[in-house]
Structures are given as structure tokens and as C-alpha cells.
Structure 1
């Protein structure tokens, strides 16, 4: 990701956890609380827990989580190893002492898996162990020629996430193509995940198909993203 995308992503999650809609979805859930951790990732050798498992059941918890996330410096790591990030997420579930009715990975990125193990087998392993994986596919326009990351064509990354990344009961992907909608997209995604809402609504770019259209075992075309 470019620095612009990383900052936008981080700010979007910070704002989301301060929004009343998130608190409402937590309070209206089956247990009235959630546990959340924030994992920053890039290439196969970089998966870093910025915020450890944190139980949120009242506004103060959410504010502290958001504040801690906002205060963490941005990293400048290269590579897009979704497979390694998913494997690290599975390890976080396995080593947690928390008990939960649902386990959900919220993965966001701006490109396909381009380094590390193939993503589909890792996805399948998590899904077979009861984990739901949802995606936020980021394809923002380049701000300048100096930006390292180029956006993929509109719709491609959502298709890739649908075929290769997401999985489990009611899994879904949301595409973000406009910076103005980034915060809203993150908030709606988190509300839907926390509340456990069924995937009744499809994004505008959704196209029903009878078989996958992406080769999940092919790496991305832009190494180092």
C-alpha cells in the first residue's frame, strides 16, 4: 500500500470504533460484547499485532481501542502476502484464551496475494476450522506518479477476493473506489460483521457466476505491493 492508503485505512478503523453504529451493533449482539485485535501485515515476514485482544462492551473500551490504534506509527513494509496474514490470524485465534460463538477475520488490502504461499489453501484451512473471512478491497485512484501502488481496474479486486480470499458463513467483500466512502465502507462492514447479519445485499459490482474467474494460485502482477 502507498502511505496515503495506509493512513486512510488506519483512520477509517479509528473513526469506525468511535461511531455510535459500532457500539449499537455490539450492544445488540448475542453477548453484548466483542473481542477484537488489530494485525498489520505486508510481506510473508511481516505480521505485527498493533493492538492485542481487547474486549469491548462499553463506549470507553471502544474509545481506548481507537485511541491506541491512532497513536501507533505507520509501518513502511513491502509485499502483499494475504496468505501469511490469514495464517497469522488463525494463530491468534488458536492461542487466544477467549471463548466466542463466532470467529471473523476482517482483511483489507489493495492487491492480490503476490508473495508467500498460495492464499486459497490457507483460506480453506481457516474456513474448515470455523472461521469466516470477509474482505475490504481497496482500489483508490493514484494521487500522483510518485505513488508506489497503482489501483487495479474497478471490479477486479472484488472478484479476486470473492474467488480467493473470503469464505465461511455469510462471507462478503466490499469494494472501495472513492476516498470519500472509505470510512463509511469500513463502518458498514464492521457493523455487518459484529451483528452477524446475513449477506443479503450485494455490492454494485457483484456479478453472479457459475465458476471462479480468477486463478487463485497465480501471484499478483505487481511484485512488492
Structure 2
């Protein structure tokens, strides 16, 4: 698996697409989006399957496809990245321009084929840093640049998550979150108040928000809402909470993962 990820990373760095249209230098898009998904040890196979299928189904959704085409430019660029420890990030699907239903569905199918695997540690800071690098090296001229972080635990590896978040925001990036809270409090990797942790410590930038996923039945709807909001900035009528970033007040210990 390691050599396969290395090949994918190399393809991504050179702007080569796997089975779809690649982003090229100075391509103008409404949105440059890094989907950064947690594959750390706390994410069991069932959660990973839900996470992967949730993102695939989001791009299959007609409302999401319409929102992409209805943008000012009418196209976005997306890359799909997995992460765990601070040294462990893998670009599974490189930058891909989405501007028509066929290409969007092909991208969704590629997400659905991503194999499930697990790695050690949880470094949200490493994920944000790597996503920021991917955006900087993309060659895209994007109206909005967003890092979409989903995960089920707090930062316990690498530098402080707030430092990574603040550096990304200073570059004009937006960090949004999908805290996954499906496990019972008795679970060994359980993080209390994960929703508040993401709100205070992870998300940031103009218009940043999080969508909590507390039940398996809501999981795909939460991801759909998150992608739709990122693409269109105005997804109304979905029965889930969208929680905006609240700063500068911080109500939780952002180093809780390291202490655990």
C-alpha cells in the first residue's frame, strides 16, 4: 500500500489526474477544496466506510452538481487526502477540475473505490499544514480556498492544532470541520466535547463552520450539507445544524489530545 500512495502523491505533485480532468496552472475556479479525511486508529472500518461513501454520495447529489455549475466560473477543483499522524498524509485523488455532471460522477466513483485502511495517531495540525501546501502548489486561481477536515478525535501528534489553523487562516484559507461523534463515552479514544473542540481549536477563517455528525443515520446528510455549503455558501432546507466559528473566545483546552 505504501508504494501505491507514493505513486499517487507523485502524480498529484505533477498535476496528473487519475481517470479525470486534471487542474492546470492558473486554472480559474470558484473553489479550491482539500477534502482531508481521518484514517487514524480511532476510526474503525465502519466509520471509514461511512465517511468515504458520504463524500462519494455528496458529489453524486444533483443539488451539489447544480451548485458547482451555478458558480460564477462554473467549476471547482478538489483533491482527496487521507491523514493520521503528523508525518502521515496521502493524496489519494489529486487536484481534479469538476465542471460537468460526467466528470463529477467520475470523481465520486473514484472516492467510492478508495480502499479502507487505518494508521496510528491523530494530527489535525499535520493535515491542515499538508492541505495548505497542496493549495499553495496547485497553480489554481481560486475565488475561495477551503480545507475540509473530518475526524473523530483531538490533535495528539505534531504541533499545536491552533498554530496550524492560524497560519492557514493568515494565508486566506478557510478551515471547516466535520467532527464525528458516533462512539460511546466509554470508548478508549473518546474525546469529550469534540464539537466544541472543533469549533474553538480547528475551524477558522472567513465564514468557517462545522457540521457535527452524532448519528450514523445523519452521517451522509452531514457530509452532503458540508460540501453543499462549501460549494454554494447557501444550502438551506437541510435538517442539520451548521455551527459557525466563534472567536476569539476559546472555551476548551486545545491541547487535550496531547494530555490524553
TM-score normalised over the length of structure 2: 0.76
- Contact conserved, 1:140 with 1:151, CA < 8 A, in 2? no
Q: CA distance change for structure 1 residues 3 and 208 in 2, over 3 Å: closer, same or farther? A: same
Deviation at 1:44, TM superposition (A): 1.1
**Which of 197, 201, 217 does residue 255 from structure 2 map onto?**
217
Deviation at 1:152, TM superposition (A): 3.7
Q: CA distance change for structure 1 residues 175 and 221 in 2, over 3 Å: closer, same or farther? A: farther
Residue 38, structure 1, aligned to residue 75, structure 2: no
1:125-140 matches, cutoff 5 A: 125-140=167-182
Q: Which residue in 2 is equivalent to 1:19?
A: 61
Moved over 4 A (4+): 148-151, 204-210
Gaps of at least 5 residues in structure 2 are 1-42
TM-score normalised over the length of structure 1: 0.87
Residue 86, structure 1, aligned to residue 128, structure 2: yes
Q: Which residue in 2 is equivalent to 1:5?
A: 47
SS, match of residue 134 in structure 1 = strand
Deviation at 1:217, TM superposition (A): 3.4
Deviation at 1:196, TM superposition (A): 2.6
Residue 182, structure 1, aligned to residue 224, structure 2: no
Q: Deviations over 1:164-218 (max 9, x none)?
A: 100011101111110001111100111101113499x993888989821112234
Which range moves more in the overlay, 99-108 or 210-219? 210-219
- Contact conserved, 2:203 with 2:209, CA < 8 A, in 1? yes
Q: CA distance change for structure 1 residues 131 and 210 in 2, over 3 Å: closer, same or farther? A: closer
1:34-183 matches, cutoff 5 A: 34-141=76-183, 150-153=189-192, 156-183=193-220
What is the CA–CA distance in structure 2 between the aligned matches of 1:4 and 1:220, rounded to whole Å?
A: 26
Q: CA distance change for structure 1 residues 218 and 7 in 2, over 3 Å: closer, same or farther? A: same
Q: CA distance change for structure 1 residues 141 and 197 in 2, over 3 Å: closer, same or farther? A: same
Q: Which residue in 1 is equivalent to 2:25?
A: none
What is the CA–CA distance in structure 1 between the aligned matches of 2:203 and 2:244, rounded to whole Å?
A: 14
Measured on the aligned residues, the alpha-carbon RMSD in Å equals 2.6
Which range moves more in the overlay, 75-84 or 212-221? 212-221
Gaps of at least 5 residues in structure 1 are none
SS, match of residue 96 in structure 1 = coil
Deviation at 1:149, TM superposition (A): 5.9
Q: Deviations over 1:61-100 (max 9, x none)?
A: 1111111111121121121100000000011011111111
- How many residues in Structure 1 have an aligned counterpart in Structure 2? 215
Which range moves more in the overlay, 204-213 or 114-123? 204-213
- Contact conserved, 1:163 with 1:213, CA < 8 A, in 2? yes
